[in-house]
Structure 1
């Protein structure tokens, strides 16, 4: 990306807040309104007079489950909360829930194999950003593999620590992926078919139907397949979501929801090796960027099943009770040759690190919540109480041949015209799966939340959670210790104030805390990562504002924060073979988001995030030497992320849109001596309404055919190259 492109995107986003936009609107209105009737028509379509349901762009006055169990709107919540709803997902052409997440302020998401779903947000990555499915955490990054978007209703984002809502973890924030459910609102019958470059195809159907006056069903199914933009990487995925809503009595209802996802990638792409010397800005051979150095029969495969039983009981007009029983069953299989390294003169590539593994994971739990809307001291006071109990089991079956530990590799090939070989050709890799470690994490939680009005314009929102975590570890057979057990207790919370300056704007301030297991994720922990360590802790201070401006045509949110994560395991500076609990990381930043109806036909929406993340206390072992990384930026953390989109309603039948996304350069190692360039992606779409119930959309992604890395592997610097320019045509029909 050029410096000029970066400046252009940031300037245009800032322009959404400029008073000059109001002048542009007035000038445009003067040109388009030459009669009193036209003027009247303009008045009736302003955002201020539109309903909450129909409002486009940022909708801060719609009740949201994100960030609170009290049913607060985004405006009422003393936290940075953003939502990519179904309308936005369709507008940006989201193919999976990560595409939707990347439209939210400050989020940089990707899905390199082995990581599942990788998120960088507010200076943190991995387990420090909680990912949830319908408010339920699987507590394992590899389980967060992005699922195709059709079955999802929205993606919710909460900035900063949210342990008081979702349990341990989430120092950086939480992303919640919410599935479509049966609803009483309307009958829906729809279908979508699309075709794009690389034989990428989607076929999807959706149905929401009333069986009678007290029963509704919903079914959503999608099938996706692609030959992939990387050589030999083929993908096929099927997603099914079914739910049944039944009104048992006028006060009692029950929803049964089932989901099943199956995905398979043949010869998954593990990255493009970077050229020597590996220093400064890393480079790749662009002529070979679509080569796949995995073996021909490499595979990634997952099979996932979710079941939820949701019971809602309205105790009174002011009190309601909800019970959610949930069960998850997941199996993930890997069989790949994963690491590729250039020779000193960049003429040959060494292929190494054969790895075969299966994850068997099962999560079962039950959550009960009570919501009461009442008064205290004559002022409105809302309460939420609840408890959650879950058991998370996982067993892994690893078989590996790692070059780092054994000094071995599979072969050396030329960058082009090589025989990829078979996984069974690798010595020791044809003996099948071998059972490894097993973990069981039992969590018992109790939580409470309150919103108390102190005056007509001032409210105090507080939350407190207690987690008791019981961790049982069974080691790989024959490895000592054979088993061990650890327990932790955590208290986390949030306190925030919201002051309504007037009907259009407020300001808020909050303080929140977090707790996380040592090593980040217990489901993948071992004796060395847990030992006798305590929970790592963290806190955030945030101030912000949410507002409407320009007579309601514009909506904006602003947040500034400081987050400190501390007491995580690091190398002992006095003994490289020892680990101590002394790490600290700090992140500071500003997030800005806005949507503006510039003219009756032209709408702009954008967001920008500035992040300053660094280690305060972190040591790394290089050889036998312990080196401090104090003041360095974590790997794969951009210091700036921005999105901008314009949508123009040309006529009632024609719509056009153009978007841009900027991600700044990221470091590829903790020493910050290697980096990956920044990039800017442009996309454009046009939609034609064939009839009242049918739309045809053409969309071009990566308009400038930018070569960029969505992710950089830290252990062996390999670009995870993003998708080149592609054209997609989609037909969406509503019956």
Structure 2
């Protein structure tokens, strides 16, 4: 991109931001003048009920940390609840961004749907993504749904192994998005429109309520588009959700839901470093091809049944089908050369489809055992996955001018790399029990057994030999909770877990010779509500070890052995406190030590031990802060900071990405009962930072620069 073009674009962007802010303030002044005389009659006072109730949700029933729907205060694990209203009020554009405000959770993925890191383990095969309590299987390393905060009633974050609840692939934690659902009550509507930097538009509509004494519904629609903060960085998303509930009787109800998502994120894979550093001239450069493609389509249908079969007995069933289609056509790797050119490579043309059909049934009993209060849930989950993948690559690398180049188009000739399909059948049996040993003591334990049958058929020779493989695994958790007071709990737990070597549906013939990786965790913690519920805090310390990593044999580097191990230990602290009726603070921080305990890899012709090194992409220090201040009647300001510590980008720890801190801010005015105006500012200090890395330390995927958005939210 030429210097003159860049200057013109920067000038236009600056003018748009200035005009936008000025127009917003003028609109506020005009609206305030016209409504000032009616303020006492029309406006409702700002409430701080959320602050009074505490911000960690310690006494809210959660579905993610336990199938018994225990509150976090009753659960021997680290569980956070992020209300959807809070996520939207802070201006988080995606659910990945929202989850990264929870203790110890950081973003680790690129444009391909995004991924998270937790407790020293990164990627979608270690930090599981759930929707309404049902897992979404990883295919091609990617999970793309859900993505839009507008659809979320809340987000629940379980940190630490979750295999006992959801199966393999959750040694670091599980993130569950609970969507908005049909509710009893009068029909209500809401709408939102926003505009911001880089010609960003966001529009959304939602409606829900009771049609009559038996029928209720919920409908949501959201569309977001932007030109993006890099050249040819356009993005476009569409999300829709519809649900209808039938209350057959007070004890029996059915809910039919369908969700659709079309995600077209920025077709951007970062910029190369020059002499190991980021050159500011490349800040807006996109070295991908002009006709790049990155598109995900997801359809999710569910039929839920809930039946109060008898006093203390509840039966729940979910029949579900998920279909995902994903398409790539990109040049993803770029290397800077000493002569001022760029070598562009990794031309990938990938298309695949995943169909996930299943049924989960569980039943909960409340009763007694040996005269002691007891709650027990038993259930099973059975599903079938059909996966079809076509991958082409092998086009020759290209050399381009680093600062003035023609992006060109995707190559017309490619090498057929692989074409295969897999059929995967999973049967899972699970149970969980809470036994109250004494008024203050409770034991919470769980067991799960999984059988996974994978049948892979190669449709091209390069796809490798056909095979069939059966994985079986049992996992468990045993924890104790001591209620020092009704508002203060101490807990401890020991849990086991399993991770796939890669996504189960992507298992190769070589990997089929091995077992799932296994893990175990010990955790101690304390949780408390104080000041009459105005404040909540939690502290957790943990140790996790993951074993059966693939390690190259010291005598023959071409042979793998499944003897490797890595571990992490750390401390997590979270606090939410309403200092006054108008001032609230939410803060959390994490310190951990992650390392390889036994790991070898081939570097050139030699085998090198990485034992004692820190896994790549894992920050060992993170922190989040958010302040809310109701500084005037109907006015609220917010200020947030996100800190991510240094991350190594290679297993040898030879290079790392520096730490960064990003500061965001919000300003909101409840103009009328039915209208709220908001101003959002992102990355206020315009910090250049690597949200993640690509191709080792040679390529940084930069985060969003300084930008602003204005929004209006209507209720009617």
Same fold at TM > 0.5? yes
Q: Give the equivalent residue in structure 2 for 1:273.
A: 272
1:208-357 matched pairs, under 5 angstroms: 208-265=208-265, 268-276=267-275, 282-344=276-338, 347-357=340-350
Q: Give the equivalent residue in structure 2 for 1:528.
A: 510
Cα deviations by residue, 1:31-58 (Å, 9 ceiling, x for unpaired): xxxxxxxxxxxxxx999xx6x8973522
Cα pair 2:342 2:402 within 8 Å, conserved: yes
Distance 2:193 2:599 in 1: 50
Gaps of 5+ in 1: 1-44, 277-281, 403-407
Describe the shift of the 1:183–1:421 C-alpha distance in structure 2 as closer, same or farther (beyond 3 A). same
Distance 1:695 1:514 in 2: 45
Q: Give the equivalent residue in structure 2 for 1:420.
A: 407
Q: Give the equivalent residue in structure 2 for 1:712.
A: 693
Q: Give the equivalent residue in structure 2 for 1:440.
A: 423
Describe the shift of the 1:417–1:479 C-alpha distance in structure 2 as closer, same or farther (beyond 3 A). closer
Distance 1:209 1:398 in 2: 46
Distance 1:418 1:53 in 2: 53
Distance 2:52 2:183 in 1: 18
Distance 2:607 2:363 in 1: 51
Distance 2:252 2:384 in 1: 28
1:501-520 matched pairs, under 5 angstroms: 501-517=484-500, 519-520=501-502
3-state SS of 1:523 partner: helix
Does residue 1:725 correspond to 2:706, yes or no?
yes
Equivalent residue for 1:123, pick from 120, 125, 131: 120
Cα pair 1:112 1:720 within 8 Å, conserved: yes
Distance 2:626 2:226 in 1: 27
Distance 1:287 1:88 in 2: 37
Shift of 1:89: 0.7
**TM-score normalised by structure 2 residue count:** 0.91
Gaps of 5+ in 2: 1-45
Equivalent residue for 2:518, pick from 533, 537, 544: 537
Cα pair 2:129 2:143 within 8 Å, conserved: no
3-state SS of 2:224 partner: strand
Shift of 1:503: 2.5
Equivalent residue for 2:601, pick from 615, 620, 627: 620
Shift of 1:146: 5.7
Cα pair 1:709 1:719 within 8 Å, conserved: yes
Describe the shift of the 1:604–1:265 C-alpha distance in structure 2 as closer, same or farther (beyond 3 A). closer
Cα deviations by residue, 1:237-267 (Å, 9 ceiling, x for unpaired): 110000001112232100001011112247x
Does residue 1:607 correspond to 2:588, yes or no?
yes
Which segment is superposed worse, 151-160 or 189-198?
A: 151-160
Cα pair 2:57 2:80 within 8 Å, conserved: no
Describe the shift of the 1:322–1:264 C-alpha distance in structure 2 as closer, same or farther (beyond 3 A). same
Shift of 1:714: 4.1
Cα pair 1:111 1:146 within 8 Å, conserved: no
Q: CA RMSD in A?
A: 1.9
Shift of 1:448: 0.5
3-state SS of 2:69 partner: coil
**TM-score normalised by structure 1 residue count:** 0.88
Distance 2:109 2:170 in 1: 19
Cα pair 1:576 1:624 within 8 Å, conserved: no
Distance 1:55 1:66 in 2: 20
Cα pair 1:128 1:520 within 8 Å, conserved: no
Cα deviations by residue, 1:339-363 (Å, 9 ceiling, x for unpaired): 1101135x11111111101011110
Aligned length: 669
Cα pair 1:655 1:686 within 8 Å, conserved: yes
Q: Give the equivalent residue in structure 2 for 1:398.
A: 391
Shift of 1:91: 2.6
Does residue 1:594 correspond to 2:575, yes or no?
yes
Cα pair 2:680 2:709 within 8 Å, conserved: yes
Distance 1:243 1:260 in 2: 12
3-state SS of 1:144 partner: coil
Shift of 1:481: 5.3
3-state SS of 2:558 partner: strand
Cα deviations by residue, 1:678-709 (Å, 9 ceiling, x for unpaired): 10011111100110111000011101000000
Does residue 1:491 correspond to 2:474, yes or no?
yes
Shift of 1:439: 1.6
Distance 1:605 1:226 in 2: 30
Does residue 1:673 correspond to 2:667, yes or no?
no
Describe the shift of the 1:261–1:724 C-alpha distance in structure 2 as closer, same or farther (beyond 3 A). same
Distance 1:515 1:632 in 2: 22
Does residue 1:70 correspond to 2:68, yes or no?
yes
Shift of 1:188: 2.7
Distance 1:729 1:480 in 2: 50
